[in-house]
Amino acid sequence: MPAVDVAGEFETIRRLFAPLAHPVWGRGLADDVAVVPSRAGHDLVLTKDAIVEGVHFLPTDPLDTVARKLMRVNLSDLAAKGAEPFGYLLACHWSPRCGWPERMTFVDGLRADQKSFGIALLGGDTVATPGPASFSMTLLGWIPKGRTVGRAGARPGDLVFVTGAIGDGWLGLEGVQGRLSLDAERVAALSDHYRTPTPRTDFALPIRDMASAAIDVSDGLIADLEHLADASGVRVEIDLETVPLSAAGQAWFDGRVDEQAALEKLVTGGDDYEIAFTASARDEAALRREAERRHLRLTRIGRVTAGQGVAARFGGQPVTFDRSGFTHS
């Protein structure tokens, strides 16, 4: 059923989005452009992600969580580069279900995360579509000139680390679709992770200072490590037994008969938005201190060697995957 009480494009911008705009650079959203001054000694880092109803979020998901997920998946990309976020451009493609109350709810999510992460809206566009709804964000950040951490840069002898826990994104999707046999509290925690993941922005500085290569875990741990290995021209070897799980993830895993198959689902499911990175062994102690200061879990899961691709082992035996992660096309 189509939503009612939908304002026009310019009223939507004036009433909902203008209050989110940067007071100077966003020009009150009354112009066709934003004007951002350069920052001496820094590079401008940009990333862009889009999310589509039925692909990246469910039609039943509250739109405030949709807005927050959109912002957070972009923030995760910047964190993995070691960059400091400062503003974003936004495109909203409203479907017939997105009436004025739904649009207000979407903006409530943006407002909450703008405050949490210290960024502001710079501009964008808003249009109607017969559906499904979709949203796109371009996030901008700063990093000292020449210091961006890319996927290329891993060297044989480096260690492989990951922040947080792996598998909660896939388990959360299972949870919101009613396919998990866990207690309600654990299902709720996993569902919250799927809808509003936590980007590791607090760890961007240690990444910038000590990582040789890094990537955020969006498509799945194995798939994203493959991207890193390909860009660096190296082989990444990981021990599946060392992959960190949350308490809820561990509870799910403990109920599986086929442990290897269960781990394969967790490391290929995606939507975790942790940072997987490589670093020199001499920096491991410093990285652990930085993680401890931030109350962040940090796990060494493998090593970099000469060669290509990702080699995973479980119980000392090599593991092959039917699919390494999520693909977008």
More confident residue, 128 or 322: 128
Nearest to 157 by CA among 279, 298, 312, 283: 279
More confident residue, 326 or 240: 240
Q: Are 236 and 324 a contacting pair, CB within 8 Å?
A: no
pLDDT in tens, 124-167: 999 999 989 999 999 999 999 999 999 999 999 999 999 999 99
CA distance 56 to 58: 7
Residue type, 93: H
Give the other-Cβ count within 10 Å of 263's Cβ: 21
128: helix, strand or coil: strand
pTM over 0.85: yes
Centroid of chain to Cα 277: 14
Residue type, 63: L
**Percentage of the chain exceeding pLDDT 90:** 82
pLDDT at 106: 97
3-state SS, 164-223, equals CCCCHHHHHHHHHCCCCCCCHHHHHHHHHHHHCCCCCHHHHHHHHHHEEEEEECCCCHHH
CA distance 114 to 107: 10
pLDDT in tens, 62-77: 999 999 999 999 999 9
pLDDT in tens, 70-124: 999 999 999 999 999 999 999 999 999 899 999 999 999 999 999 999 999 999 9
In the chain, the DSSP E strands lie at 42-52, 84-94, 120-128, 134-144, 159-163, 211-216, 235-239, 275-279, 298-305, 309-314, 317-319
